[in-house]
Amino acid sequence: MRHFAERGAPDEDGLLTLGWHGPYRGIAQDYSGPGSPYWAAKGLFGLALPADHPVWTAVEEPLPVETGDFTRVVRAPGWLVSGTRADGVVRVVNHGTDHSHEGSDLADAPLYARLGYSTATFPLLTGDPLDQSVAVLDEKGRASHRTGFTAGPVRALPSGTLTGSSRWRAHWGGQGPGPDHGYSRAGAGMRHGPEVEVVSLVRGAWEVRLTRLIGQPHRLRMGGWPSPEGGPATRVHGGPGLSEAGTEVAATPLGERTLVPWCATPGAAEPGRWYAAALLLGDGDQPPVIDDRKVTWPDGTIDDLPETVTLSGLSK
């Protein structure tokens, strides 16, 4: 309650609005209405509990991220979870959840189908996938969708580094009517491109993202974390072949200026070739060093790349 009261809720009329830290109509979905913000009243339900209930008498415990760095592998939804005490950020790298099912032919739902979510960011709700995405760009520069992907295994390596993967057929198409960011919609005239395979290695505030195309050559783009201006640092370091880079500025409920770094191939990516990038959200000066067989992390830990991945030329 204090968090939102200090940021302008309720408004000057004493009302809760559709938004986060204030009115933001773009967050509404097609079922939202004037009464939707009052679901927040559920947060006050605990006031009905008696004073001697454990909710009030139990000693407050710190969150895991408040006591140190931690990691979790959550296998059912295909999540790699990494929390870092230095910046207080908890990240979820998502290789299993898209609010649909394997093989479906749908446009992505930003609230479900992104490759990553965190406690300090909010996905872009409009436009083609950019933030936390691996996208194939068509001849007009439009980014592909990943919904309907096949989830690979997620696990922790002996070093403590987390790894997971997913694979999908890139596809493009129009969106259906109405706000669609809460769930996937069928697109008009879906077109299909090459298959995309992604492998993630996660340690601390960094992710090493490995990607290849299987099929037709197309431009390949990797999008980073969408951090609001003044929020945690967000960076993308592209490896060989990902020489184009930039930062897009967009609006989210967390800030009108949300920064999304990206890197891309200048031309068509070579089918079958693995491309690598390092993505940061939070505190982190030096990026991990990636060569053709291993990753050396900023803390000195060295992990071998998966046997199926060969990054030819990265050690030069």
Report the pLDDT value the prediction gives residue 134, as an integer from 0 to 100. Answer: 98
CATH class of 66-304: mainly beta
Report the pLDDT value the prediction gives residue 187, as an integer from 0 to 100. Answer: 57
Report the pLDDT value the prediction gives residue 313, as an integer from 0 to 100. Answer: 46
Report the pLDDT value the prediction gives residue 315, as an integer from 0 to 100. Answer: 35
Length of the chain, please?
A: 316
Q: Kindly report the pTM of this predicted structure.
A: 0.92
Which regions of the chain are under pLDDT 70? 174-180, 182-188, 310-316
For residue 38, which phi and psi values (nearest 5 degrees)?
Answer: -80, 0
Report the pLDDT value the prediction gives residue 1, as an integer from 0 to 100. Answer: 82
- The domain limits of the chain are 2-57, 66-304
What are 163-182's pLDDT values in tens digits?
999 999 999 986 655 666 76
Q: Per the omega criterion (within 30 degrees of 0), is the bond before 10 cis? A: yes
d(CA 5, CA 10): 7
d(CA 240, CA 64): 37
Report the pLDDT value the prediction gives residue 314, as an integer from 0 to 100. Answer: 47
Residue 38 DSSP symbol: G
Residue 136 in contact with residue 219, Cβ under 8 Å? yes
What are 47-61's pLDDT values in tens digits?
999 999 999 999 999
